[in-house]
Amino acid sequence: MGAPEENDAALLRAVAAGDQAALARLYDRHAGWLQVRLTRRCPDPETVREVLQDTFVTVWRSAGAHRGGEAGGWLWTIAARRLVDALRARERAERYAPVPAPPAPSAEDCVLDGLDGLDGPGGVDGLEFGDVGTALGRLGPELREVLRATVVDGLTTREAATLLGIPEGTVKSRALRARRELRTALARLAGERGGPPRPLATPPSSPRRPLGGTA
């Protein structure tokens, strides 16, 4: 068992050097919250198990690509892309069977998921729920889904379309609409309390893409 001070960066360096025990410790530390987040987007437990396994196979092969610090955001980007791959494979196998849409997240869930590794150990200092969480709550569920896929999960337009089961053009139009409505909601909140909306702290290492990113 690793020493308490052993952080993600140290474990990943060990994994890159071929240390299987380090990979096991990394799995024990992160597999639980990764499984929870994957389950939110896919109701099939077998698919979730396969994606989780594929995620750590990818970690074993590419640990050297991690640039240091906590691994939460990096791991989730890998897991989200493996989920897209799994959904694509299932769609090909089932031909015309629809891909199940993920459940609509709550406003606070969107805010929390938007920060790298917040579901993992440690969290992020300086997070403020108030204005942004309230504004997100005023968006429709289909707009929050696009925000989650393109901003939170950092997926391309094509990947988000596969994950949500909608055309790429719909992803783009909803992303633009979501950005517009979010700005309007924040402006209204600022007017309601007589001041500018509080900013949402965002880590500089965030893997997220701008809204409406292309494939």
Would you state the structure tokens that stand for residue 74, as one six-digit string? 């990096």
Could you list the pLDDT tens digit for every one of the 215 residues in the chain? 444 457 888 899 999 999 999 999 999 999 999 999 999 889 899 999 999 999 999 999 988 888 776 788 889 999 999 999 888 887 777 655 555 555 554 443 444 344 333 333 333 333 334 566 677 777 888 888 887 788 767 788 888 888 888 899 999 999 888 888 878 877 777 776 665 544 444 433 444 444 444 44
By C-alpha distance, which of 71, 64, 56 is closest to 13?
Answer: 64
DSSP 62-93: HGGG--SS--HHHHHHHHHHHHHHHHHHHHHH
Report the pLDDT value the prediction gives residue 102, as an integer from 0 to 100.
Answer: 55
- Pairwise CA distance, residues 203 & 201, whole Å: 7
The CA distance from 108 to 150, in Å, is 17
Answer yes or no: pTM beyond 0.75. no
Hey, what are 206's tokens? 């965030």
Q: 112: which 2 tokens?
A: 């929390």
The letter for the amino acid at 39 is T
So what's the pLDDT on residue 137? 75
- Considering only CA atoms, give the Rg of the chain: 18
